Structure 1
Amino acid sequence: MSSEDELGEVLDELLNIPSEPQESRKLCDKCCRPEKVCLCPYLPGKPIPVSNKLIILQHPSEEKRCLRTAKILELSLPVDKFRVIKAKRFSAHKQPELAEILKDHERTFLLFPGKSSQPLETIDTRQPYNIVIIDGTWAEARCIYHNSHDLKNMKKVVLNVQKRSNYVIRTQPTEESLSTVETAAITLAHLENNQSIYDTLMKPLQALCTFQLEHGAVHHFSKEYLILNGLYNKPITRKIQKKLGNKQEIKYFIR
């Protein structure tokens, strides 16, 4: 047998050696997180009593993301006060659940910024509401809104954020941008006249961020922060410049 034949046999044997199956991480049955970074100890012991109902309109891609925050709300609120509807486009015709909510238009509003949006502080807290939140990346949320006629006709409410997001493991577009759980927490705390709701919902979010940072994730600043502090290394579009307004002179070129 030639040396080339011997080498070929050796290579064949090596290629046929069965590989060790990758050990899968055990996931918590409740929060669906790996057991080592389970969020359950940081979740409320029992559902938070609320009179308002939260409806999450979720982009299908969001369900696949390991760092999604809507799951925290699902595990923290009563079953009859929380609902997730998944789609890329929403309408009363396609989603009967949404149709029922839209019928009660006086007590239903969409949390979405815009010229016609009214501040949360102006909402009467003496009655319960259906609070609708679009869940996805900011690009996905905008796409859902602009492609869903029924959402455009809803009463819209905006949050006047006075603090930075605690969700420091994903890049937000602006300093006022919040994660889904933060948006819901601020809104519910105001409507329920109960600040402890916000504090309770922030515990699992803070734990999630701490776990990720301890396992190699880096602290993310908003795109706005990076731009205004000269740390953004990409071209600035006119659209971004317009959004930032006169907060500070932007030194990077506009394409």
Structure 2
Amino acid sequence: MRQGLCPQCRVHRRICVCDSCEPIAGAPKLWALQHPSETGHSKGTLRVASACLPGMRVEVGESPDDFDEVSKRARQGGLAVLFPSPESEPLETADISGVREWLVIDGTWRKANRIWLSNPWLQALPSYHFKVPPSSVYRVRKAPREDSLATAEAIRHLLQLTHPELDLGPLQCGMDALVERQLANMPVEARRHHLPPSTDGSF
């Protein structure tokens, strides 16, 4: 482990948010397939979700050989994936009574889609998408689609819809801390592009 890195999230302690993330009690089991390029990425948000959801399993890779454990779990039934595929159903109106565990894919849209296309077992799972996704507030990382959400935002909305009884405040606190620390460690000129316009001409 390089000096200055957090041993839990593997990013520099200046932008680590583990101290701002509290565990969420009663959350369902979650799986995350993480593209290797996202491991230790300073702007990645899966580390927030992992800190708030200690029961979540993260598997890093791209091909079926990388996801042996979760693909075996998939064959047992009761596992569904949150991914906007051509066959996916809107989560807001779908019957998900048979779903016991959820899987998300962590990566840029291009890399997440590559994981999806490279894993037939994944495409065989029931898949769901958000019919009306919330607006993303994660302004420190650009997304190619208007309806894109950061991974932690997608997990938070997934749990809002499927387990409304949960207190998801820790996920929001973790995301707020991540944005704040990312902006604080940016050069002034770079920060200007990520802040909302100011009414007094400042930023």
Residue 57 of structure 2 corresponds to residue 87 of structure 1 = no
More relative contact order, 1 or 2 (CA 8 Å, 6+ apart) = 2
TM-score (norm 2): 0.81
Question: In structure 1, the residue corresponding to 2:112 is in which secondary structure?
Answer: helix
The CA RMSD measured in Å over matched residues stands at: 2.5
Question: In structure 2, the residue corresponding to 1:121 is in which secondary structure?
Answer: coil
Alpha-carbon spacing, 1:195–1:160, altered in 2? closer, same or farther (3 Å):
farther
Identity of aligned residues (%): 30
Q: Which residue in the other structure is 1:27 paired with?
A: 5
Alpha-carbon spacing, 1:36–1:143, altered in 2? closer, same or farther (3 Å):
closer
1:132, 1:112 → 2: CA distance? 9
Deviations 1:198-226 (CA, angstroms, capped at 9, x unpaired): x32021112111222222243459xxxxx
Q: Which residue in the other structure is 1:206 paired with?
A: 176
Residue 116 of structure 2 corresponds to residue 138 of structure 1 = no
Q: How does 1:72-221 map to 2 (within 5 A)?
A: 72-78=48-54, 81-90=55-64, 95-105=67-77, 107-124=78-95, 129-194=100-165, 196-197=167-168, 199-216=169-186, 217-218=190-191, 219-220=193-194
Segments of structure 1 that go 5 or more residues without pairing to the other structure are: 1-23, 222-255
1:220, 1:150 → 2: CA distance? 38
Segments of structure 2 that go 5 or more residues without pairing to the other structure are: 196-203
Alpha-carbon spacing, 1:96–1:31, altered in 2? closer, same or farther (3 Å):
closer
Shift of 1:181: 0.6
Q: State the aligned residue count.
A: 190
2:38, 2:15 → 1: CA distance? 20
1:35, 1:172 → 2: CA distance? 25
Larger Rg over CA atoms: 1
2:75, 2:94 → 1: CA distance? 19
Deviations 1:92-126 (CA, angstroms, capped at 9, x unpaired): xx643123321233x21111113321111234566
